[in-house]
Structure 1
Amino acid sequence: MKVFRALFVSLRLWLLLLGFVLAFVVAYAFPLLFPVLQIAFVVLLLLLLIEGFLLFRQNTVGSQPVFFARRELPERLSNGDDNPVTLYLESRYPFATPVEIIDEIPVQFQRRDVLFTAQLTPNQARAIRYELRPTRRGEYSFGAINVFVMTPLRLLKRRFQFETGQMVPVYPSFLQMRQYELLAVSNRLTELGIKRIRRVGHSMEFEQIRPYTQGDDLRSINWKATARRADVGQAGLIVNAYQDERSQGVYCLIDKGRVMQSPFGGLTLLDYAINASLVLSNIALMKQDRAGLITFSERIGQVVPAERRPGHMQKLLEVLYRQKTRFLETDFEALYTTVRTQVRQRSLLLLFTNFETLNGLQRQLPYLRRLAKDHLLLVIFFDNTELRSLLDTPAANTEGVYMKTIAEKFAYEKRQIVKELQQYGIASILTAPQDLTANTVNKYLELKARGMI
């Protein structure tokens, strides 16, 4: 029974059998063809027997299996990124083996094209690499690796199955976080759209005095230290060196209400906010600030106090991994109460939410103004890229004109929201979802350079 379960017929054999059927039909009109077809059919049956014998005659070679395959996955996948998956194949058949590989990937991907073909020579090992891009956090279950091995005739297939039931969690985009971290260390953040911020004034902490170098701000010259240096016979100017103010609180406030469920590019707005919060928290820790997190919807979710302890980044990652959208109206009053009781020191609050209309903002504006009174509040909401593409497309008919008019009204409302926030001294970012991380990090570095936090 195991042999029959592992035995499959190739498309080439089905076509040959169909050809024999048609040839036997034609042989009724031409009887001389009958003996030839009978001999050919017997030869085909012999070839099938030989091929089946070659495929199934042995399961092992010595102590090793005749064919082996395994899947190599990361311990966890990064949401919204291309994650590598590697299939390793090894054949110990004494002849060249064409193979077809079907990898049973998780149902969340909804893909039916994970089929690969290869040809292995005797005792050859080969690796096949492909990528998967998850768009939802959670647990993903991989099925079996189905390998169909053939002989050079390619009439029959023997199926091998490996790696059944492998579960991998999908976390927020830690690959993006590492990318920003590496480029920040090497001062190459501009490659990801991060601007270089010119520092204004000296609203930073004093670090040390050092010799003047070309390009230093002349206003930072320490004339008293320069004079003392001259008294001992040493020439040259001395300047004061400053460093960024450290240990400032940076909180990401993530709205989990229904407004954050809208999908763009396969990810929801909540996932974009979670990925950006992860990157920003890591950058803040690298800048010696303290990173915290508050999630909320119709009630307060998780509250992670701002800290810089070892392992704090892993704690934030685990909390963000478990966040899910809730579909009730967001309660900004509960957010204000929580911030007032939990965040005692003046901090930077980055509020990830979405306002579609000016009325929607005005209902929550009293709570935003109270937050901005005690903290530096930055409201981050999203531009509708689908509306933008509609506005950029010329109208072809009357219906198109109406659609563009409605789209322009919504785009105008977004711009009015920015102006309304500016009127009350609240900073804001209106960004496309795919540009969220770069724009948020830019704004954080700008606020820090200006000494506003």
Structure 2
Amino acid sequence: MKKIISLFYRNLFLTNRLFAALTCSVVLFLLSFFFPWLGIIPTLAFWVLIILFLMDVLLLYRTANGVFAKRHAPERLSNSDNNDLGVYIENWYSFPISVGIIDEIPFQFQKRDIWFKTNLKPREKKLINYVLRPTRRGEYEFGDIRVYAKSPLGFIRRRYNFEQAETLPVYPSFLQMRKYELMAISNRLTDIGIKKIRRIGHSMEFEQVKNYVQGDDYRTINWKATARQGNLMVNSYTDEKSQHVYCIIDKSRAMKMPFEGLSLLDYAINASLVLSNVALLKEDKAGLITISEKLGVVIPAERRPAHLNKILEALYKEKTRYLETNMELLFAIVRKVIKQRSLVVFFTNYESLNALHRQLPFLKRIAKYHLLLVVFFENTELKKLSEQPAADVEGIYIKTIAEKFAYDKKLIVKELAKHGIQSILSTPQNLTINTINRYLEIKAKQKI
């Protein structure tokens, strides 16, 4: 009995409407001292309020379970993407109600305003959708769903607690991967910013004879087939297949820097996942290596159906470390694991020429055996500072230093090119698009 009474008081909440009615009743009692003609009106008003209050309690509590709610969530969330979630709610009362819903989302989002309001007719069902954008990989713990129901009288709210604690993993951006996957399958990568690569020459792997369309190379016209068909026919060639593409991700402290809530490591992980998927769709073999002061994950290049999921699971667990990259160890692993000439995409970050010079001897040795593509980041915050006009002497100093760092980035590109190493200097937001662009360009020019 005590437990029932305790639950009753714990889940009963008074509304502003009740306090407003009590305030009016008190005012009437005060006025009755100055205006005796009010008589018993204040007393009647008070008892009417008490009766309505008890009726409201009876309406909400005579049904044991007047409301049902459940969270609709995917099995896993995609990092840096908008993930759709929802709360399904159903009114089991015989009268319309107004409800407020609190979904206890993980603390990582730092949001305390997830409050939804809606009205439900008798026996009505609704699905309330909302969006969450995580910025860190890992496990996110959701709490209970709390529903506050209010009858048409509106003097109290009854709280319903639905225990639905669950833990959802946040994986690298698989939603972005699927978007690029659909574009790659339909050859529509240009629709989302992937530029069209102009071919210089073509692969010698014959695919088919097809009708000529505007834009086809005249040199590929098949005159014998043209004579037989009476229409221009051309030979179609396909890119070379089963080439090895390795993504090497630097996990050192240089990749800890945050941009728009995501670390550089997360940007590199998302780009690696998309690049691996596109490479597999192009019938190449994708591999992965992660490195810091010690070796992380090594996944040899393959094309098996479950290979992409193996890469996804490996990337999900990676974290930034705080020491510099052991480049000597990286070179030893590359020589041991990668047996044939491959495209090696090294995701890292350099803030100065000195940082590059410490690693350059090992980069040159890797480039001797493989086609090395170094991908590093443009500091967008420093770029903004360098473009802002200086208002005082301190502003001039800041602008000059920012321009120096931006110029160092360009010198790093030139230094790498001087040693025959390709590079991409990209903003974090455009990293995926720029990396896929360069991969498609390398395949089109048959550089591997």
1:407 aligns with 2:402: yes
Deviation at 1:134, TM superposition (A): 0.4
Counterpart position of 1:40:
45
CA RMSD of aligned residues (A): 2.0
Amino acid at match of 2:148: F
Deviation at 1:297, TM superposition (A): 0.5
Conserved 8 A contact 2:280-2:303? yes
Q: Whole-Å Cα distance in 1 between the matches of residues 113 and 367 of structure 2?
A: 51
SS in 2 for 1:329: coil
Counterpart position of 1:109:
109
Q: Whole-Å Cα distance in 2 between the matches of residues 211 and 4 of structure 1?
A: 79
Counterpart position of 1:180:
180
Conserved 8 A contact 2:71-2:164? no
Deviation at 1:92, TM superposition (A): 1.5
Q: Whole-Å Cα distance in 2 between the matches of residues 322 and 121 of structure 1?
A: 46
1:220 aligns with 2:220: yes
Deviation at 1:406, TM superposition (A): 1.0
- 1:376 to 1:38, Cα distance in 2 relative to 1, 3 A: same
**Which of 257, 260, 282 is the aligned partner of 2:252?**
257
Counterpart position of 1:62:
none
- 1:37 to 1:210, Cα distance in 2 relative to 1, 3 A: closer
- 1:236 to 1:126, Cα distance in 2 relative to 1, 3 A: closer
TM-score where L is the length of structure 2 = 0.94
Deviation at 1:242, TM superposition (A): 1.4
**Which of 50, 56, 65 is the aligned partner of 2:55?**
50
Conserved 8 A contact 1:204-1:451? no
- 1:41 to 1:357, Cα distance in 2 relative to 1, 3 A: same
Higher mean alpha-carbon deviation, 135-144 vs 34-43, is at 34-43
Unaligned runs of 5+ in 2: 1-5
Q: Whole-Å Cα distance in 1 between the matches of residues 90 and 360 of structure 2?
A: 64
Counterpart position of 1:438:
433
**Which of 384, 392, 401 is the aligned partner of 1:389?**
384
**Which of 309, 315, 323 is the aligned partner of 1:320?**
315
Q: Whole-Å Cα distance in 1 between the matches of residues 91 and 230 of structure 2?
A: 75
Deviation at 1:203, TM superposition (A): 3.7
Q: Whole-Å Cα distance in 2 between the matches of residues 370 and 203 of structure 1?
A: 28
**Which of 285, 300, 306 is the aligned partner of 1:305?**
300
- 1:355 to 1:48, Cα distance in 2 relative to 1, 3 A: same
Q: Whole-Å Cα distance in 2 between the matches of residues 84 and 163 of structure 1?
A: 21
TM-score where L is the length of structure 1 = 0.93
Q: Whole-Å Cα distance in 2 between the matches of residues 385 and 112 of structure 1?
A: 31
Counterpart position of 1:121:
121
SS in 2 for 1:380: strand
Counterpart position of 2:411:
416
Unaligned runs of 5+ in 1: 60-64
1:266 aligns with 2:274: no
Conserved 8 A contact 2:202-2:444? no
1:291 aligns with 2:296: no
Q: Whole-Å Cα distance in 1 between the matches of residues 229 and 381 of structure 2?
A: 66
Conserved 8 A contact 2:348-2:375? yes
SS in 2 for 1:74: coil
Q: Whole-Å Cα distance in 1 between the matches of residues 20 and 161 of structure 2?
A: 27
Counterpart position of 2:70:
70
Q: Whole-Å Cα distance in 2 between the matches of residues 34 and 421 of structure 1?
A: 95
Deviation at 1:273, TM superposition (A): 0.5
Counterpart position of 2:9:
4
- 1:210 to 1:124, Cα distance in 2 relative to 1, 3 A: closer
- 1:426 to 1:4, Cα distance in 2 relative to 1, 3 A: same
Amino acid at match of 1:340: R
Post-superposition CA distance 1:228-277 (Å, at most 9, x none): x96xx776666433110000000000011111111111111111111111
- 1:411 to 1:19, Cα distance in 2 relative to 1, 3 A: farther
Deviation at 1:401, TM superposition (A): 1.4
Counterpart position of 2:164:
164
Counterpart position of 2:3:
none
Deviation at 1:9, TM superposition (A): 1.5
Counterpart position of 1:202:
202
Deviation at 1:173, TM superposition (A): 0.4
SS in 1 for 2:290: strand
Amino acid at match of 1:216: D
Q: Whole-Å Cα distance in 1 between the matches of residues 214 and 257 of structure 2?
A: 51
Counterpart position of 2:358:
363
Post-superposition CA distance 1:49-69 (Å, at most 9, x none): 11001100121xxxxx42111
Q: Whole-Å Cα distance in 1 between the matches of residues 429 and 163 of structure 2?
A: 35
How many residue pairs match? The answer is 443
Amino acid at match of 1:149: A
Q: Whole-Å Cα distance in 2 between the matches of residues 19 and 451 of structure 1?
A: 84
SS in 2 for 1:131: strand
Deviation at 1:16, TM superposition (A): 3.7
Q: Whole-Å Cα distance in 2 between the matches of residues 406 and 433 of structure 1?
A: 21
Q: Whole-Å Cα distance in 1 between the matches of residues 37 and 321 of structure 2?
A: 77
Higher mean alpha-carbon deviation, 239-248 vs 77-86, is at 239-248
Deviation at 1:40, TM superposition (A): 2.0
- 1:18 to 1:423, Cα distance in 2 relative to 1, 3 A: farther
- 1:212 to 1:358, Cα distance in 2 relative to 1, 3 A: same
Q: Whole-Å Cα distance in 1 between the matches of residues 423 and 50 of structure 2?
A: 76
- 1:428 to 1:19, Cα distance in 2 relative to 1, 3 A: farther
- 1:236 to 1:131, Cα distance in 2 relative to 1, 3 A: closer
- 1:10 to 1:290, Cα distance in 2 relative to 1, 3 A: same
SS in 2 for 1:440: helix
Post-superposition CA distance 1:263-310 (Å, at most 9, x none): 111111111111111111000000000000000100110000000011
Deviation at 1:219, TM superposition (A): 2.3
SS in 1 for 2:112: coil
